[in-house]
Amino acid sequence: MIATGSSVGTVSFYLNGAWEKPEGRTMGAVRNPATGETIAEVPYATDADIDRAVRAAHEAFLKWRDVPVVDRVQVMYRYKVLLDKYSGDVAATLTRENGKTSDDAKAEVRRMIQMVEVACGMPSLMMGDSLNDVAQGIDCKTIRQPIGVCAGITPFNFPAMVPAWMYPFAIACGNTFVLKPSEKVPLTPTRAIELLHDAGLPPGVLNLVHGAKDTVNALLHHPLVKAVSFVGSTPIAKYIYATAAAEGKRVQALGGAKNHLVVMADADMPKTVEAIIGSAFGAAGERCLAGSVLVPVGDAAGPLLDLLVKRTQSLHVGDGSKSGVEMGPLVTGDHCAKVAGYVDKGVAEGATPLVDGRASRPAGGGFYLGPTIFDHVTPEMTIAKEEIFGPVLSVMRVETLDDAINLVNRSPFGNATAIFTSNGKAAREYSSRIEVGMVGVNVGVAAPMAFFPFAGWKNSFFGDLHAHGKDAVSFYTEQKVIMSRWF
């Protein structure tokens, strides 16, 4: 946190269709991870701010739910056009506060826009079923109705895309929304919501607040909030799920990950290495789908690691806004120190560093750590068990596909995994037996597109209905069955 009244700008709340720069709130610092400089101050919403946001959303809901869905999606069509037009601007903001490279930022914004595109199809997606003459002269139909004020609480690593897993779907379904993005990266969601405002969204339908734990608690306990969507780390996801459910709210809470990449000896090694580099070190490893454990099977290890180590050593680490940079900094100084601490621990616990990222930090004030690969990692080591959320890849060698499946299925996490092979039978068996929510076959980052559902299993997800796709329509609506007979 920083003192109020510094020379950098204050991030605004967006309440009931108006932008507000609140005063006298606890303030957080937003930093450019490539330089360490403070670029904005973010105010933390109080209980009273949250009450105003939720009440504005509730008042707006009473009208918005009756706007025909074909008219509601007109806002989404206009929003999509504006996002396309200003996508470069949104991506540059994202790189500036999150650190990911320009290419990664542009790819994220593209994914965000796809969410809006899918939400434009809400007239079809919200349709119910009907059957006439379920009994003599009696017809039956199901309809889907919005549920009210929905809240979204999102993490730092995808500040454009992850909020868009939520609000375009919720709003197109006829709900209203209060978004509380990560306090580390509030500028990207603010820019995105400015464009939604310009698209003509009526006041109160979406409200943007900032803050941390206390702000989230005010949302979780507010009686007018009917549903909570959360994406973040596992301990917080568990807490959100338990707390909001105890308040009688509908909850989906996506948590952390420890993703295994299994490589068979028959894999196409050069292509596999490129996929692993993208998975483990893309976005500096700060992805919930990042590969963080590499599992070479049998003879795969030798040729795989030779190529992988060379390619990793050649990775260009630096300021993500500069061209040619392949990996940017970590999001904050604290997070960078935490990830470097895991590298220290890996060495102390006896893993073999093949590439040590502590030795390849670019000079300057940014939060940098180079890519790291550890070989001979064993299940009891900390780096094998905990989510690191940085550019650290642990190699755990196994003899057979069965061993690989057992290793992955013993993990308490179940977000994503991938198998690299040219053998269809091995791929099929792996996909079928693995206890993980999102599986890639020769795909290093198995990120489902907007029209498919997104979530893990086990400690990576708490809830029933996953993010985006048709699950989002079910999550953001209540189903009603109507039986009619006319005398």
CB of 112 to ligand NAD, least distance (A): 13
Closest-CA residue to 74 (of 208, 200, 195, 207): 200
CB of 4 to ligand NAD, least distance (A): 20
152 binds ligand NAD (CB under 6 A): no
User: Contact with ligand NAD (CB under 6 A): which of 213, 271, 428, 433?
Assistant: 213
* Site for ligand NAD, residues 335 to 394, rule: CB under 6 A: 387, 389
* Contact map string, positions 445 to 474, toward ligand NAD, x by CB under 6 A: -----------x---x--------------
Closest-CA residue to 463 (of 203, 166, 222, 196): 166
Which CB atom, from 22 or from 189, has the smaller least distance to ligand NAD?
189
411 binds ligand NAD (CB under 6 A): no
241 binds ligand NAD (CB under 6 A): no
Q: Which helix (H) or strand (E) holds 153?
A: strand 149-153
- List, in order, residues 6 or more apart from 70 with CB less than 8 Å away: 123
CA–CA gap between residue 456 and residue 458 (Å, rounded):
7
CB of 159 to ligand NAD, least distance (A): 9
Q: Which helix (H) or strand (E) holds 343?
A: helix 333-348
For residue 442, the Cα-to-chain-centroid distance in whole angstroms is 22
CB of 5 to ligand NAD, least distance (A): 23
* Site for ligand NAD, residues 278 to 307, rule: CB under 6 A: 288
CA–CA gap between residue 423 and residue 452 (Å, rounded):
26
Burial class (CB in 10 A: 0-12, 13-18, 19+), 262: buried
CB of 185 to ligand NAD, least distance (A): 8
Active site (annotated) includes residue 140: no
154 binds ligand NAD (CB under 6 A): yes
Tokens coding 258: 């420890």
- Return the bridge partners of 146, or none: 477
CB of 184 to ligand NAD, least distance (A): 7
Annotated catalytic residue: which of 120, 150, 173, 288?
A: 288
233 binds ligand NAD (CB under 6 A): yes
Of the ranges 108-116, 134-142, 180-188, 421-429, which one interacts with ligand NAD (CB under 6 A)? 180-188
Distances (CA, A) of 235 to 127, 150, 334, 444, 462: 36, 22, 18, 26, 11
User: Contact with ligand NAD (CB under 6 A): which of 201, 206, 257, 293?
Assistant: 257
CA–CA gap between residue 189 and residue 267 (Å, rounded):
40
Contact 214, 243 (CB under 8 A): no
Listed in sequence order, the DSSP H helices in 292-368 are 301-313, 333-348
β pairing state of 149-153 and 225-231:
parallel
* Site for ligand NAD, residues 108 to 147, rule: CB under 6 A: none
Question: Which amino acid is it at 327?
Answer: M
CB of 216 to ligand NAD, least distance (A): 4
216 binds ligand NAD (CB under 6 A): yes
Which CB atom, from 238 or from 470, has the smaller least distance to ligand NAD?
238
229 binds ligand NAD (CB under 6 A): no
User: Contact with ligand NAD (CB under 6 A): which of 22, 28, 255, 278?
Assistant: 255
244 binds ligand NAD (CB under 6 A): no
Of the ranges 19-27, 212-220, 265-273, 378-386, which one interacts with ligand NAD (CB under 6 A)? 212-220
395 binds ligand NAD (CB under 6 A): no
Which CB atom, from 87 or from 459, has the smaller least distance to ligand NAD?
459
3-state secondary structure (DSSP) of residue 294: strand
Closest-CA residue to 107 (of 167, 154, 156, 160): 160
**Longest alpha-carbon distance in the chain:** 82
CA–CA gap between residue 58 and residue 11 (Å, rounded):
24
Which CB atom, from 216 or from 297, has the smaller least distance to ligand NAD?
216
User: Contact with ligand NAD (CB under 6 A): which of 256, 414, 440, 469?
Assistant: 256
- Given the structure tokens 């940079």, which residue do they identify? 325
Which CB atom, from 126 or from 438, has the smaller least distance to ligand NAD?
438
- Return the bridge partners of 150, or none: 177, 227
Q: For 176-186, b where at least 16 C-beta lie within 10 A, e where not — what string? A: bbbbbbbbbbb
Question: What dihedral do alpha carbons 39, 40, 41, 47 form, nearest 10°?
Answer: -140
160 binds ligand NAD (CB under 6 A): no
Q: Site for ligand NAD (CB under 6 A): how many residues?
A: 28
49 binds ligand NAD (CB under 6 A): no
The residues of the shown chain that bind ligand NAD, judged by CB under 6 A, are 153-158, 162, 180, 182-183, 212-213, 216, 231-233, 236, 239, 254-257, 288, 387, 389, 415, 456, 460
Which positions are catalytic? 288
